[in-house]
Amino acid sequence: MQKYIIISNDIRNKILKGEYVANQQMPFEKDLCVHYGSSKMTVKKALDILVTEGLIIKRRGSGTFVKDLNPEEIERVAMANQFRGTTALYAGQKVVSKILNFSVVKVPEHAAKKLNIAPDSFVYDIHRVRYVDDEPFVMEKMYMPIDLIPNIKEKNIKGSIYEYIEKDLHLNIQSAHRTVSVRKATDFEAEELGLEKGDPVAVAEQRGYLDTGSAFEFSTSIHRYDKFSVEIVLTRN
């Protein structure tokens, strides 16, 4: 494990445990260098991670301070920065899927563009409704190139596809680009998600990338409006 990860984890824990509290001034970088036995650049890198996460603030000439957040917000922010699949997000709760379709098809034109693959490629076409603790939660329509993610079985899509990709195929998921918008549910969506006709839904269109740079997933998720929210930290520079 890298030193800067160890340091930033350690400091994040101290904030989460309340050892450093909101608005409190933290030790100077110089002192942290001594304490962790590392150079200035390494400590700086560790602290910058926490700045990006939105937990602390640095002021040149003055020092470093815990951000003005209450304990609850601190916890949420610390969570929001991790990128996980739905199954991991609702760890501890029962996540099951109802499969509406699972087949291999020639890639639809719009998906070929998003996945940047040849128009005569084949992809898995996965359509499922996911339930958390027996409540319908989200309807997912997902395309994955069969060349990149081979051998998907029904049992994988009943559970976590991300887990299959990482644990079984030993591929590394690197990042995702997601666009969230809002519209009215279609009648079919309303029925599957237990909503009234015309109720709001949140639509998340997502492309997932492996660490090889290839797009491995293009998906559109329709979320129940009452069970959806995203947390975003915006930073200047």
Which amino acid makes up residue 123? V
Which of a copy of itself, DNA, none has residue 35 at its interface (CB below 5 to 8 Å by kind)? none
39 binds, among DNA, a copy of itself, none (CB under 5 to 8 A by kind): DNA
Alpha-carbon gap, residue 185 to 46, rounded angstroms: 44
Provide the binding-site residues for DNA, judged by CB under 7 A.
2-4, 26, 28-30, 37-42, 44-45, 47, 58-64
Residue owning tokens 């109720």: 199
Tell me how far apart the alpha carbons of residues 91 and 223 are, in angstroms, rounded to a whole number: 18
Determine if 176 is a binding residue for a copy of itself (CB under 8 A).
yes
90 binds a copy of itself (CB under 8 A): no
Say if residues 143 and 124 touch (Cβ distance below 8 Å): yes
Considering the complex, state which of residue 98 and residue 184 has its C-beta at the smaller distance from a copy of itself: 184
* AA letter at 183: R
Binding string, residues 62-81; x marks residues near a copy of itself by CB under 8 A: ---x-xxxx--x---x----
What is the β-pairing status of strands 215-224 and 63-66? unpaired
Residue 39 or 101 with smaller CB distance to DNA: 39
Q: How far is the CB of 159 from a copy of itself (least distance, A)?
A: 20
Interface with a copy of itself, residue 147, by CB under 8 A: no
Q: How far is CA 201 from the centre of its chain?
A: 19
Q: What type of residue is 209?
A: Y
Comparing CB distances to a copy of itself, the nearer of 96 and 233 is 233
Q: Could you say which of 86, 87, 214, 220 contacts a copy of itself (CB under 8 A)? A: 214
The nearest distance, CB 93 to DNA, in angstroms, is: 33
Contact flag: residue 118 with a copy of itself (CB under 8 A): no
**Secondary element (H or E) of residue 30:** helix 29-36
CB 224, CB 136: distance < 8 Å: yes
Contacting range for a copy of itself; rule: CB under 8 A; set: 87-95, 123-131, 147-155, 219-227: 219-227
144: nearest Cα among 167, 121, 160, 163: 121
Q: Which two tokens stand for residue 168?
A: 């079984």
Contact 163, 85 (CB under 8 A): yes
Residues that bind a copy of itself (CB under 8 A): 22-23, 41, 54, 57, 59, 65, 67-70, 73, 77, 83, 113, 116, 172-184, 198-202, 209, 211-215, 223, 225-226, 228-236
